[in-house]
Structure 1
């Protein structure tokens, strides 16, 4: 079962991101900062409800995916920026690194599946975004990479079918250090 979504966070992120992206020609360069800023603003407005667990980053990612899809921006091209901004915003708001990484990556893959996107391609971009987001806030990028790869595989397992093999193969060929992490997980 997926991560429970906090609807007011989802709607706040979706609305804020749609407003930010409409009329923006170069969405790629503004996406991570936009998601981060909207996440911080939205989380401040939710009070004590948040800051614990995977729900917060998952809700941010879900809202961002919906906002990007509504504006007509390529979801796959947006994943890295969405996950990066989500992690920065969540960690700036007090969510711990592991929850921020796992919640973001897992929800990115689940949202991609729901939108009919290539989950393997999204997994690669989500892991890259996770490592970059953690790097931006001065976190542990080695641990972030491992947590992101594990979250991507967990999401693929929940989707089932050929998703696990596709995600494993894509991560193996596209993410530095993924081969070692995948071998370690097998043990």
Structure 2
């Protein structure tokens, strides 16, 4: 998959999110729908783009997070809606559930770190957004929860052991079923 195509996806999503959310008083309720709509439009506009793998959902999340950060909206408060909308739009456009979930959650955690956000809070919101997004399109929410938790832990591992421990603790106390999933994957 070519870098220019991915760059176009990121910039398209970023521009669409900024344009839609700028001046909106209630960004929280608008984020998921905006990201879903912009995702579907952007993916339809990239005919040569192969909708496989983690890169596409990751690029969408990256663009959306950049867009909300640029207009001064709280990234932590927006992550759930961004991941939710990304997954709905990506799955509606032919991306597999697993790729949509893992790419979205992993990139959300990485972007949270890059922006200096509390990574454990971002991870919790990303996992919740992933499960909700999959639920909205009639997917396997149990599988989505497991894939999202694995992706959050994997992204945290690249940051460091302290981050892994705080993410596990936050997921354990804030996400339904996380305790069992963490025990199952021995994270």
Give how far 1:18 is off: 0.3
Separation in 2, partners of 1:23, 1:174: 31
Give how far 1:159 is off: 1.1
Separation in 1, partners of 2:79, 2:23: 20
Deviations 1:98-137 (A, max 9, x none): 0000000000000000000000000000000000000000
Separation in 2, partners of 1:178, 1:92: 26
Give how far 1:50 is off: 2.9
Contact 1:98 1:147 in 2 (8 A): yes
Q: Does 1:78 align with 2:78?
A: yes
Match of residue 48 from structure 1: 48
Separation in 1, partners of 2:176, 2:161: 26
Give how far 1:23 is off: 1.2
Q: How many residues align?
A: 184
Give how far 1:161 is off: 3.9
Match of residue 117 from structure 1: 117
Match of residue 58 from structure 1: 58
Give how far 1:184 is off: 0.7
Tell me which stretches of 4 or more aligned residues in structure 1 moved more than 3 Å. none
Q: Does 1:29 align with 2:29?
A: yes
The alignment's TM-score, normalised by the length of structure 2, stands at 0.96
Match of residue 137 from structure 1: 137
Separation in 1, partners of 2:148, 2:48: 26
Q: Does 1:169 align with 2:169?
A: yes
Unpaired runs of at least 5, structure 2: none
Q: Does 1:102 align with 2:79?
A: no
